[in-house]
């Protein structure tokens, strides 16, 4: 996890007051406030491409796609964070203590980076698994054309499928998929116009 903002213990109300007046995002867990690192242009482009691809597929149905401005709280563990992309199906269920945070995502997407990959794959995923509504967790690689989709079955068992260039990462819980080639082609540097 990232470095705490301070070495003292905070109440959730302190965190919410900080977020209300800050232009920097923070995570909150166990009385600690953690500053979230800014991403690279490539990270931002991948996250935006995921939003665009998913929005085009779910826009008419009962699911909505949100970017990293949506705060998500894991009620069971207390983690409050900003996933790169969230998909919520049906009505939003808001955190009883924070009207700006939701508690019922169906799909969460994290674009990996050198500094966050271990956390996104490990501790953060363990928190996300405690969200009852969560059906799929997607990890988008920063090193190669690779999308890893973790899916929860009815027995609460998580399994992963990796989609590489030319393949699609299936998201049946929202009736969508991520075409790996289309995703990474969308973030390639455009050719100069002559």
Query: Structurally, how many domains does the chain consist of?
Result: 2
- Residue 16 shares a structural domain with residue 48: no
pLDDT score for 121 = 95
- Residue 89 shares a structural domain with residue 117: yes
- Residue 64 shares a structural domain with residue 24: no
Q: What is the pLDDT of residues 46-75, one digit of tens each?
A: 999 999 999 999 988 899 999 999 999 999
pLDDT score for 130 = 97
Q: What is the pLDDT of residues 145-163, one digit of tens each?
A: 999 999 999 889 999 999 9
CA 35, 83, 161, 123 dihedral sign is positive
73: phi then psi, degrees, rounded to nearest 5: -120, 135
Q: What is the pLDDT of residues 97-137, one digit of tens each?
A: 999 999 999 999 999 998 889 999 999 999 999 999 999 99
- Residue 13 shares a structural domain with residue 54: no
Residue 178: pLDDT over 80: yes
Q: What is the pLDDT of residues 7-22, one digit of tens each?
A: 688 888 888 888 888 8
Q: Cα–Cα distances in Å, from 8 out to 30, 31, 159?
A: 11, 8, 38
Task: Give the residue numbers spanning the domain of 7.
Answer: 1-36
- Residue 71 shares a structural domain with residue 160: yes
- Residue 28 shares a structural domain with residue 67: no
Q: Tell me, what CATH number does 165's domain have?
A: 3.90.1570.10
């Amino acid at each position: 996890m990232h470095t705490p903002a301070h070495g003292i213990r905070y109440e959730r109300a302190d965190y919410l007051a900080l977020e209300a007046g800050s232009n920097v995002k923070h995570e909150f867990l166990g009385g600690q406030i953690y500053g979230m690192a800014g991403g690279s242009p490539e990270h931002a482009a991948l996250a935006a491409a995921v939003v665009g691809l998913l929005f085009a597929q779910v826009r008419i149905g009962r699911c909505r796609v949100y970017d990293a401005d949506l705060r998500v709280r894991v009620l069971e563990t207390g983690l409050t964070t900003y996933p790169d992309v969230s998909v919520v199906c049906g009505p939003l269920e808001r955190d009883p203590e924070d009207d700006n945070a939701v508690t019922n995502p169906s799909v969460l997407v994290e674009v990996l980076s050198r500094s966050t990959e271990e956390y996104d794959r490990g501790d953060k995923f363990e928190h996300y698994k405690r969200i009852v509504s969560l059906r799929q967790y997607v990890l988008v690689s920063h090193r190669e054309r690779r999308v890893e989709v973790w899916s929860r079955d009815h027995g609460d068992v998580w399994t992963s499928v990796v989609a590489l260039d030319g393949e699609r990462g299936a998201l049946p819980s929202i009736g969508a998929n991520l075409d790996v080639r289309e995703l990474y082609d969308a973030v390639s540097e455009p050719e100069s116009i002559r």
